[in-house]
A and B are shown apart, each in its own frame.
Chain A
Amino acid sequence: MTHLGRWLSALVDGELDGVERDRVLNHVAGCDSCRQEANSMRALKRRLTALGDASAEPAIASRLIELARCDEAVSAGALPWAAPTGIAHARRTADWGSGVLPRTWRLAAASAGASLITIGVLAFMLGNGEAHPPVPKITPSVDSYLMQHAFDAGQHPAGSTPAANSSPATPGRSKGVAAGHAGPGQPASGKAGHSLTPPARHRTTGASGSAATKLRGQPAASPTAGPSPSSSADVSAGPPPVTGRQRG
């Protein structure tokens, strides 16, 4: 524990003269601790001097001087916002310079970004379709459409319950024969049931030839055949046989 404080360092630095120097020297002569302290400071000074010129960078030096002034201002009771050159300003300047936003700014930026993303996602979801009110989901009424299509084709569908004596006699035609040749489980006209009422018809998958011929149990004609060749098998139950033609 030294007794002289800063006077001792001033003595070592040679900054005292006259009466002050004498008084300090008298004390050091009679005080062991102060004498040891003075010796240590002289030894340190010599060592530092031996290191040569170690002056700080001008920028760092100015920053340190600025900080020292700030401390003096604070200790003198000056308001920090009244002195923009204070430590807060220095720190703020350092923050802007390093690209790190202050907390309030970070919060504002995050809020704005989240809002933009939310609006973008919402717009993307709502953009799937035109800007009109939502339209109902429709199931096509196929049975009604098929009936209307028959009208379009120039035919009028007949009712399901014709007059008792009006059923065509269709001589030479047997529905049983047709059903037999349509394959097991196939109805006479080759139509199968369905769930919604689309017309599931008799199908001969993979046969692109004459389905009519197949339905009647006759060999399928060539898909590329022209008018069916004349055949002696002109049976009433078969498909309409077509004989050849000639220019007349």
Chain B
Amino acid sequence: MLWLYWRRSRAVIGAVAAAMGALAALAVVASFLADGRRPGSAPPAALGRGSTSPGRSSLPAPNAPVARRGMLLMAAAVAACRTVPYRGVQIVAWSGPEGSSSYLLDVWHRPGGPELARDDDAGDGSGSLGFPASGGGGTVGVLSLSAGMLELLRVNYVLEYEGVGTSSNRSARIVAVRRPDGTLAARFWLDAATGLPLRREMFDRSGRRVSEGAFIDLQIGDQELGELPAEAGRAWTAYAPASSAASRPTVAQLASLQVGGWKVPGRLAGNMILSGVSRTATPSGTVLDARYSDGLSVASVFMQRGVLPRTLPGWHQADVSGTQVLATESGSLSEQGLAWSARGIVYTVIADAPPDAVAAIVAELPHDSHIGFWSRVGMGLKRIASWFDPFG
């Protein structure tokens, strides 16, 4: 009897088994294609040294041990940047498709004070930058962490403890900073003894390393600090916020700026959040500085009423996101000044950010769009009519 049933149903059972096998094979192939790697292989971030591509990886859960440890290590680094006395030399390098740039910085830090930085050339009198008052103005280190930046990091990225390593002959713990899509945005090497950031690498979304900053010499302790150089004077006054760096301009402050004719966006492309506004008075008028950061990069947007000349000595025309701007130097957009004018405002952007992020910021800020013939004539007629308006 059973044999009879088996003979009748074996074809059906075989077909069902074949279909399920094919389905399982399809699932395996789909998983392989989606992950871009062989199933079962370790993610690049979990690979040891020698991994060649900081690609996409699965994000740890917020309460995962590696995520909590990464956050704790970064918080300790913020505290170390505030409390540990040190001095040293940093090298900062930016690279892009068109080339790369690098510079050296002498840095000093005394507990409770800000990190002082000076162009490595300024101390020996060469002064290549030509900043007699500021010495190293414009050379920005990338290793110092603040509470405000850590807060932005926590909001925009996922921190993950990756392991141990060494940098500058010092043992370090490595923390990876990942975007919400799992791609690697940066890695920090944090000193195992003090918590100070020793090295930072930044990557764009394609996994290309766009920046690295590291101590090439670091001496820790009060006895190594010696006498600090004088701090350059600050001509800018904070408009908002007035107190801590972690706070942000309030809606009322932004509205006040809007009433004054300053349209300051609260957020720019790439999760760059407005974290402060300063201003200064110059002979040619007030200049507003809006500071944006996503926790890793810092972009300063300077605004001044006026128009930009078509050409400026020392500047050249550059195409950024399809927009013609003036740039201070050729090559990578990072560490580069980009200027243009729109609607009666001259915008100048200086950013320590990957080139694609800088391009996105520039694209999002106002630009004069091409107006049609009749619109232009209409605006001109309106202007002519204003000449005869006794109340105008």
Q: Is the CB of B115 within 8 A of A156?
A: yes
Q: Is the CB of A226 within 8 A of B51?
A: yes
Chain B nearest Cβ from A244, distance in angstroms = 3
B contact residues around A14 at 8 Å (CB): none
Which of B98, B103, B280, B377 lies in contact with A124, CB distance below 8 A? B377
Q: Is the CB of A198 within 8 A of B314?
A: yes
Given contacts A124-B380, A125-B380, contact A229 B232 (CB under 8 A): no
Residue of B nearest to A237 (CB): B216
Identify the stretch in B18-26, B166-174, B248-256 within 8 Å (CB) of chain A at 4 or more residues.
Answer: B166-174
Chain B nearest Cβ from A248, distance in angstroms = 6
**How many pairs of A and B residues are in contact by the CB < 8 Å rule?**
443
Q: Is the CB of B234 within 8 A of A227?
A: no
Interface string of B215-231 (1 = CB under 8 A from A): 11101000000111111
Confirm or deny: A47 has a beta carbon within 8 angstroms of a beta carbon on chain B.
Answer: no
Q: Is the CB of B382 within 8 A of A131?
A: yes
Q: How far is the CA of A240 from the CA of B106 in the complex (A)?
A: 16
B contact residues around A211 at 8 Å (CB): 93-95, 100-102
Q: How far is the CA of A205 from the CA of B331 in the complex (A)?
A: 8
Given contacts A124-B376, A245-B163, contact A198 B335 (CB under 8 A): no
8 A Cβ contacts from A227-248 to B: 227-230, 234, 236-248
Confirm or deny: B352 has a beta carbon within 8 angstroms of a beta carbon on chain A.
Answer: yes
Identify the stretch in B4-12, B201-209, B356-364 within 8 Å (CB) of chain A at 4 or more residues.
Answer: B201-209
How many chain B residues sit at the interface, stated as a range, is: 35 or more
Q: How far is the CA of A165 from the CA of B228 in the complex (A)?
A: 9
Given contacts A124-B377, A246-B164, contact A162 B229 (CB under 8 A): yes
Interface string of A70-110 (1 = CB under 8 A from B): 00000000000000000000000000000000000000000
Q: Is the interface of A mostly helix, strand, loop or mixed?
A: loop
Confirm or deny: B308 has a beta carbon within 8 angstroms of a beta carbon on chain A.
Answer: yes
Given contacts A147-B232, A246-B163, contact A135 B306 (CB under 8 A): yes
Q: Is the CB of B121 within 8 A of A227?
A: no
8 A Cβ contacts from B318-347 to A: 328-329, 331, 335-337, 339, 341, 343-344, 346
Confirm or deny: B56 has a beta carbon within 8 angstroms of a beta carbon on chain A.
Answer: no
Confirm or deny: A126 has a beta carbon within 8 angstroms of a beta carbon on chain B.
Answer: yes
B contact residues around A175 at 8 Å (CB): 120, 124
Q: Is the CB of A242 within 8 A of B165?
A: yes
Q: Is the CB of A240 within 8 A of B88?
A: no
Which of A130, A147, A157, A173 lies in contact with B217, CB distance below 8 A? A173
8 A Cβ contacts from A190-248 to B: 190-212, 214-216, 221-230, 234, 236-248
Q: Is the CB of B121 within 8 A of A189?
A: yes
Confirm or deny: B54 has a beta carbon within 8 angstroms of a beta carbon on chain A.
Answer: yes
Q: Is the CB of B102 within 8 A of A201?
A: yes
Confirm or deny: B193 has a beta carbon within 8 angstroms of a beta carbon on chain A.
Answer: no
Given contacts A136-B306, A168-B88, contact A144 B280 (CB under 8 A): yes
Confirm or deny: A143 has a beta carbon within 8 angstroms of a beta carbon on chain B.
Answer: yes
Q: How far is the CA of A167 from the CA of B328 in the complex (A)?
A: 31
Interface string of A161-201 (1 = CB under 8 A from B): 11101111011110100100000000111111111111111
Confirm or deny: B350 has a beta carbon within 8 angstroms of a beta carbon on chain A.
Answer: yes
Which of B123, B144, B378 lies in contact with A155, CB distance below 8 A? B144
A contact residues around B278 at 8 Å (CB): 148, 151
Q: Is the CB of A240 within 8 A of B168?
A: yes
Given contacts A138-B284, A138-B308, contact A191 B44 (CB under 8 A): no
Interface string of B134-156 (1 = CB under 8 A from A): 11111111101010010000000
Which of B99, B107, B304, B350 lies in contact with A203, CB distance below 8 A? B99
B contact residues around A143 at 8 Å (CB): 130-131, 134, 137-138
Q: How far is the CA of A165 from the CA of B378 in the complex (A)?
A: 68
8 A Cβ contacts from B229-249 to A: 229-232, 234-236, 245
> 11 additional contacts, CB 8 Å, given A158-B135, A225-B209, A248-B164?
A142-B328, A157-B131, A160-B136, A166-B228, A189-B104, A197-B131, A199-B138, A204-B101, A211-B101, A224-B53, A226-B50
Q: Report 21 cross-chain contacts, Cβ distance below 8 Å, ordered by A residue.
A: A123-B378, A123-B379, A130-B379, A138-B304, A139-B309, A149-B140, A150-B137, A154-B298, A157-B116, A157-B232, A158-B135, A166-B227, A198-B328, A205-B98, A211-B94, A224-B52, A226-B187, A227-B49, A230-B166, A242-B199, A244-B50
Which A positions have Cβ atoms within 8 angstroms of B?
A: 119-120, 122-132, 135-163, 165-168, 170-173, 175, 178, 187-212, 214-216, 221-230, 234, 236-248
